[in-house]
Amino acid sequence: MTTPEPLLRIEHLVKHFATSRGLFDKGDPVRAVDGVSLALSRGETVSLVGESGSGKTTLGRCILRLTEPTSGTVSFDGVDVLALDGADLRALRRRMQIVFQDPAGSLNPRMTAGTAVREPLEVHGVARGAEARTRVDALFDEVGLDPSLAERYPHELSGGQKQRVGIARALSIQPEFMVLDEPVSALDVSVQAQVVNLLVDLQRARSLTYLFIAHDLAVVRHITDRIAVMYLGKIVETADVGPLYERPLHPYTVSLLSAVPIPDPTASRNRVALPGEMPSPRRPPPGCPFHPRCPHLKKDKRCSTEAPPLREVEPGRWAACHLAEEPMNHAPQPSTGGNP
Amino acid sequence: MTALLRVRNLTTSFTTESGVARAVDGVSFDLGQGETLGLVGESGCGKTVTALSILRLVTEPPGKYGAASRIEFDGMNLLELPPRELRKVRGAQIAMIFQEPMSSLNPVLTVGSQIVEAIRAHEATAKRTATDRAIELLTMVGIPEPEHRFKDYPHQMSGGMQQRVMIAMALSCGPKILIADEPTTALDVTIQAQILDLLMDLKARLGMSLLFITHDLGVLAGVADRVAVMYGGQIVEAGEVRSIFEQPAHPYTQGLLRAVPRVDRPTNELQGIPGAVPTATEWPAGCRFHPRCSQRIDRCQSEGPPEITTDSGNVTRCWVATSAGAS
């Protein structure tokens, strides 16, 4: 938010899904994304984290217009993304790509790995024939796939190999920006680490800008520069990764971080237990959407009546909480003592 | 500690189009009274088939238990028990919960009626008494307004609530052993924390033993007393939870611990394990981990390593650990 010219700027983005529950109940809309503003600088990784139903995936899809937002603005390198159509939108999509969680579901089962990577080159008229083949070989090499795998179909590849194909396909047309929607969640831990490292290497080599969408806060800590925590369609806290993990300001972030299991049987577990479950985005609670579950001891009437705006609590640290300056009367750290 | 359950040389294989898959291949372990044993490993390592085999839930054919395999419980070998006798154990003395509660619950029956059915399947109980007991169980697993939720259908509940119902059902006959197969994998992290707390609390209150299957080393560290690490259908290392995490002897255990990111520490380079888990129809010769192992020696490629006990008390199968221990 300090950089003058972000590559991607999202302002007041809203996506409501209309619902109907029958003849007499028109139903309230599902407020999947409910007024989100976010800016990404070139070369930066920003992570969107939150639990299922927080709106993080919908937000990612709205940016690429895979889902049409209800209102708000998205501008990419100065271009109003929501105003584009036809050829202009397609031209812009060359610069913005997405990698999905389930590599098996996002690859065509009847298309070999090599064809899957070559297809975008031809669709976007980047390269054909021998030139395309050379590029595919180079991409396979870049994502760590043996060239002999090009003839294989998705079902003949492991989960990690499929995800590498998905990444190579997204990279083929040389995008500047990638939405990575839970790209390692379906992978086993030994393979997940390989793919996380690959994504980090690719970003450095190609100066990519990432929007990394994930629910796993441990993985996020290892890949991101900045983080935005979502709850019920809203960003409740955003900051650089270090400060946010070391001293979260929003009570939801505190609870969320403290719930992440630590692979160390001697780690102290100062969990801030969160009662109940996330309410339906169809009927978000009045006031602060988190107030019914909030463990903050100083929670008061204002929390249930007045929605807290996302405000800069400290330089570079934004939180949507009336009590962000008040220390929570909980040990907020999930970590063991003595960590740097 | 007296072993409540002894698994000896368990081998479970399946006939498939591409050959015989030895999903579980010579697994032995004990589960003590009141103990939590964590069974950990990545997809395809045989953890779930091990759990299903204990309750003899593997369909035969295509599944087949090895002739020398034994599941010893209460003086019986469950693999040889006649079906009528087996039913008195399964669900009553040894119960199981799964990753996806939605696919284990009947979508067209209320959750209450399913718990009542579970109770009455094992005990001759009047419907009224079973209903009271079901509401008691729903209360015990922390479902608010149990009298109302009793009449809910599964789809009216969240994933966390569905898993609570599964736990209530599993506990309905007061089992001595609960097998939990990835019970929190499908849940969000704050709900996972609630369910883990609930399981640990119930285990302590009811004095159950828990066989906890997970791929998540973080979850494992928080729940297990002892750990068995599976790879390629075998247990490659087993020991007390602290010595597994602090002094892992097997290169696979070491590799897993280096690959898992920690939320409580800033970035260190994560190290993946090269390659991928092999499939059960084509286990590599020798040590099954050798194609991915950075420490392998010639012997690993041809000869399966024997079980040895390390200085820290872990039992492992690894030629490198064997030559290092040199006993």
Q: Which residues contact A19 (CB under 8 A, 6 or more apart)?
A: A27, A28, A29, A30, A282
Q: How far apart are CA A206 and CA A96, in angstroms?
A: 14
Determine which of A190, A191, A226, A294 to mutate to test the interface with B (most B C-beta atoms within 10 Å): A190
Confidence at residue B198, expressed as pLDDT on a 0 to 100 scale = 92
Identify the closest residue of chain A to B222 by CA–CA distance: A265
Classified as helix, coil or strand, A202 is helix
- Confidence band (pLDDT; 50, 70, 90) for A24? low
* Phi, psi values for residue A56, rounded to 5°: -65, -40
Is A331's pLDDT higher than 60? no
Question: Stretch A93-110: mean pLDDT, rounded?
Answer: 87
Is B125's pLDDT higher than 70? yes
Contact A168, A137 (CB under 8 A): no
- Confidence band (pLDDT; 50, 70, 90) for A4? low
- Confidence band (pLDDT; 50, 70, 90) for A274? confident
Distance from CA of B165 to the nearest CA of A (A): 15
Question: Cβ of A47: how many Cβ atoms within 10 Å?
Answer: 25
Q: Alpha helix locations (H) across B123-277? A: 127-140, 146-149, 159-171, 189-206, 217-223, 241-246, 251-259
Residue B38 in contact with partner chain A when CB distance is under 8 A: no
pLDDT tens-digit profile of B32-83? 999 999 999 998 899 999 999 999 999 888 999 999 999 999 889 999 999 9
Indicate left, alpha or beta for A78 from its phi (over 0: left) and psi (-120 to 50: alpha): left
Report the amino acid identity of residue B243. S
Smallest Cβ–Cβ distance between B191 and the set A190, A277, A333 belongs to: A277
A218 neighbourhood in chain B, CB within 8 Å:
218, 260-263
Question: Stretch A198-207: mean pLDDT, rounded?
Answer: 93
Residues 108-127 (A) with a CB less than 8 A from some CB of B: none
Residues 175-204 (A) with a CB less than 8 A from some CB of B: 188-197
* Phi, psi values for residue B3, rounded to 5°: -80, 130
Q: Which residues contact A130 (CB under 8 A, 6 or more apart)?
A: none
Place of tokens 């040990």: A331
Confidence at residue A332, expressed as pLDDT on a 0 to 100 scale = 42
Residues 265-304 (B) with a CB less than 8 A from some CB of A: 265-267, 269-274, 276-277, 292
Question: Cβ of B286: how many Cβ atoms within 10 Å?
Answer: 18
Indicate left, alpha or beta for A86 from its phi (over 0: left) and psi (-120 to 50: alpha): left
Least confident range of A15-24, A196-205, B38-47, B55-64: A15-24
pLDDT tens-digit profile of A31-67? 999 999 999 999 999 999 998 889 999 999 999 999 9
Cβ-defined contact of A188 to B194 (cutoff 8 Å): no
Mean pLDDT (chain B) is 92
Confidence at residue B327, expressed as pLDDT on a 0 to 100 scale = 44
A277 neighbourhood in chain B, CB within 8 Å:
158, 160-161, 191
Is A269's pLDDT higher than 80? no
Q: How far apart are CA B136 and CA B133, in angstroms?
A: 5
B272 neighbourhood in chain A, CB within 8 Å:
190-197
Indicate left, alpha or beta for B192 from its phi (over 0: left) and psi (-120 to 50: alpha): alpha
Confidence at residue A70, expressed as pLDDT on a 0 to 100 scale = 94
Is A30's pLDDT higher than 80? yes
ipTM: 0.86
Residue B66 in contact with partner chain A when CB distance is under 8 A: no
Q: How far apart are CA A69 and CA A230, in angstroms?
A: 17
Contact B55, B49 (CB under 8 A): no
- Confidence band (pLDDT; 50, 70, 90) for A333? very low
Q: What is the pTM of this model?
A: 0.89
Residues 218-257 (B) with a CB less than 8 A from some CB of A: 218-222, 224, 241-242, 245-246, 255-257
Confidence at residue B1, expressed as pLDDT on a 0 to 100 scale = 61
Confidence at residue A335, expressed as pLDDT on a 0 to 100 scale = 36
Contact B230, B277 (CB under 8 A): no
Confidence at residue A22, expressed as pLDDT on a 0 to 100 scale = 66
Is B140's pLDDT higher than 70? yes
Q: How far apart are CA B250 and CA B293, in angstroms?
A: 10
Smallest Cβ–Cβ distance between B158 and the set A219, A260, A277 belongs to: A277
Identify the closest residue of chain B to A157 by CA–CA distance: B276
B197 neighbourhood in chain A, CB within 8 Å:
273
Residues 280-339 (A) with a CB less than 8 A from some CB of B: 333-336, 339
B216 neighbourhood in chain A, CB within 8 Å:
261
End-to-end alpha carbon distance in chain A: 27
Strands (E), chain B: 3-16, 19-32, 36-40, 63-65, 70-73, 76-77, 94-97, 177-181, 209-214, 226-231, 234-240, 307-309, 315-317
Is B124's pLDDT higher than 70? yes
Instruction: Say what angle helices B111-122 and B159-171 make with each other, to 10 degrees.
Output: 20
